[in-house]
Amino acid sequence: MKTLTLLAILALILSCNQKHPAEAKKPAIERNQGNKWQVNQQMKPFILQGEKLVNDYITHNDTDYKTLAANLSVQNDQLIESCTMKGKSHDELHKWLHPHLQLVKKLEGAGQAESQEIVVGLEQSYRDYHQYFE
């Protein structure tokens, strides 16, 4: 599972042909002249399905966070494979995506006690996505 996650992150970096800073601090996402950035149609289903997985987990008071992490990882892998964006919108999406991937990775290795806090972080991550992207 760790190998798959590492491969997914490597694929993200290589497929998008971008260098990402190894910062612990989450970079601020900029607005598109006051508007939301456009995300390509190929990527949206994987983002929305990941959000649905998190929302369903919360709604049903689920406790199988390991399965949630695995399912989110699958969505993220498909999201990365579908990345064809370029330019400023791409750069801004990565400011959201990189911390989001880190949360999923953290959930994969979490214990029961910290899993709920991470799930709340994932829920907020999807809210952040909708604040800046459409």
Q: What is the pLDDT of residue 130?
A: 98
Tell whether 103 is covered by a domain. Answer: yes
Q: What is the pLDDT of residue 10?
A: 43
Taking the whole predicted model, whether its pTM rises above 0.75 is answered as yes
Tell whether 8 is covered by a domain. Answer: no
Tell whether 59 is covered by a domain. Answer: yes
Tell whether 83 is covered by a domain. Answer: yes
Give the structural domain span for 80: 38-132
Cα dist from 36 to 31, 32, 69, 86, whole Å = 6, 6, 28, 16
Into how many domains does the chain fold? 1
Please give the chain's pLDDT, 134 residues, in tens: 554 444 444 444 444 444 333 334 678 999 999 999 999 999 999 999 999 999 999 999 999 999 999 999 999 999 999 999 999 999 999 999 999 999 999 999 999 999 999 999 999 999 999 999 99
Q: How many residues does the chain have?
A: 134
